[in-house]
Amino acid sequence: MATIIEPFRIKSVEPLTFTTRQEREQILKDAKNNLFLVRAAHVLIDLLTDSGTSAMSARQWAGMMTGDESYAGSQSFYRFRDVATGITGFKHIIPTHQGRAAEKILFTLLGGPGKSFVSNTFFDTTRGNIEYSGAEAVDLLTEEGKKPQLIADFKGNMDIAALESFIREKGAENIPLCMMTITNNSGGGQPVSLQNMRETAAICRKYGILFFIDACRFAENAWFIKKREKGYENRSVLDISREIFSLADGCTMSAKKDALVNIGGFLALQDDTLAREAKNLLIITEGFPTYGGLAGRDLEAMAQGLEEVLDEEYLRYRIRSIEYMGEKLTAAGVPIILPTGGHAIYIDARAFLPQIPVEEFPGVALANALYLEGGIRGVEIGSLMFGKYDAKGKHVAPPMELVRLAIPRRVYTQSHIDYVCEVIIEVFGKRTQYSGYRISYEAPLLRHFTAELENPGR
Ligand code: F0G
């Protein structure tokens, strides 16, 4: 079969900055060994996140110029609303400046002490907004999704039996809403099947619980359904997306992912009363309901991006580019979460650097090695990000030590990806020479963003 190529050509370019290995030693030292503290200009290939890092198309940029900046009733809002309703079918489309702003509004209205919310896996900001309201957030991921090397089609699925017993135990009246995150970012960008969404929606309906979608990467998820779920191979991704949303009562969306924009999001709702309350909250926190924390031009770019992301040539290339990277790494023996998901490669840092104990942050050691060797920036998702201390001050590690390499949309070419693979494989070849880190400063909350670390062995 012919190579699946980037389905676009490049009209506007941004130069990369090259640094030497010696310069990167100094840069990392100045950044206290924390890649969040490294300037982007000192990074060659930036795989920190796929959020807000997409390249916009010529049509999106053209839309930026025609954006209607009226405070109320902007034409750009109506264009955006029509596109979003056309895909999701939801009656009320409420723009927000990004995904977490939509979450904040939703959980301010539905949350509070004594309430529980369930998901396949809540993303951190979603969990944060739920817990901030005083409620609890519970993840009920299928067992398959917890096994990094297990090959299965839909490792993002909800554990249906666990969901039903959780509802019985807590009482449906204490569970306002159940949310399906598609794809499951925290679990490796793994998709959820339509079958699983249908079963989850049916249980929610039976118990009178709202069913919502965290739709950040809905198009990537829909592509996996088309490729892997029986009966969907001849359906369009738009059609599959509509079927997904038809099961739900609403969604939150970070448009920084599958709407191919640098900033934006929305909350979509079916219920009139909830929508009215949400809009009232929006006005005091984000802005008037026809712009919601965004400029008119951003709404244009989102509308256009939502249309472009459903282009199946684009999705074929997108998912293939991640799979291609996974195949190269797997062939070289590099331990990664399998099968590859929709937006990122997750390296198993514990298996990669078994000589480094979890309390010395193998994920940090690996991420820093990739930066030192090749100027690549990934993110540790392990003991630095999620580690806790017990009552005696002893480190409690999360279940996995990962390094996520998230691939921005339409930004890097196949040779960039080849280069990234070469660097990872080179580091893998020298893996016995890397050593662990210790923290010299940490903030009480979300310490990974600002922590300062030392590498005594280097
Ligand atoms: N839900 C999921 C599944 C996400 O991945 C994110 C963001 C959000 C919600 C929040 O959206 O950033 O627009 O407020 N994920 C980014 C990431 C930050 O790097 O994975 P936001």
Query: ∠189-191-195 over CA atoms, to 5°?
Result: 165
Query: ∠37-187-124 over CA atoms, to 5°?
Result: 55
CA-nearest residue, atom 18 of ligand 1:
51
Check if the beta carbon of residue 329 is closer than 8 Å to that of residue 380. no
DSSP-derived 3-state class of residue 254: strand
As a residue count, the chain comes to 458
Which residues lie closer than 8 Å to 129 by C-beta, 6 or more apart?
Answer: 100, 103, 104, 106, 107, 108, 111
Q: With respect to CATH, is domain 58-308 assigned 3.50.30.40?
A: no
CATH code, 21-50+311-454: 3.90.1150.10
pLDDT < 50 positions in the chain: none
CA of 431 to the centre of ligand 1 (A): 31
Residue 348's pLDDT is what?
A: 96
Residue 149's pLDDT is what?
A: 84
Rounded to 5 degrees, φ, ψ at 212 are -120, 155
Residue 445's pLDDT is what?
A: 82
pTM confidence score? 0.96
Atom of ligand 1 nearest to the CA of 50: 19
Residue 148's pLDDT is what?
A: 85
CA of 391 to the centre of ligand 1 (A): 31
User: For the segment 108-147, what is each residue's pLDDT rounded down to a tens digit?
Assistant: 999 999 999 999 999 999 999 999 999 999 999 999 998 8
CA of 183 to the centre of ligand 1 (A): 11
CA of 434 to the centre of ligand 1 (A): 31
The rounded distance, in Å, linking the Cα atoms of 67 and 296 is 5
Around Cβ 355, how many Cβ atoms within 10 Å?
13
- The residues spanned by each domain of the chain are 21-50+311-454, 58-308
The rounded distance, in Å, linking the Cα atoms of 84 and 245 is 11
Residue 207's pLDDT is what?
A: 98
CA of 381 to the centre of ligand 1 (A): 14
Check if the beta carbon of residue 4 is closer than 8 Å to that of residue 317. yes
Residue 444's pLDDT is what?
A: 87
Check if the beta carbon of residue 111 is closer than 8 Å to that of residue 130. yes
The rounded distance, in Å, linking the Cα atoms of 375 and 195 is 42
Residue 404's pLDDT is what?
A: 97
Which one of 257, 258, 402 would you pick to mutate in the ligand 1 pocket, going by the greatest count of ligand atoms within 8 A of its CB?
Answer: 257
Check if the beta carbon of residue 220 is closer than 8 Å to that of residue 186. no
Pocket of ligand 1 (CB under 6 A): 49, 51, 98-100, 123, 125-126, 181, 185, 214, 216, 254, 256, 265
CA of 51 to the centre of ligand 1 (A): 7
Residue 228's pLDDT is what?
A: 98
Check if the beta carbon of residue 129 is closer than 8 Å to that of residue 100. yes
In Å, the largest CA–CA distance within the chain is: 62
Q: Quick one: tokens of 222?
A: 């829909």
Task: Match 């009215």 to its residue by tokens.
Answer: 276
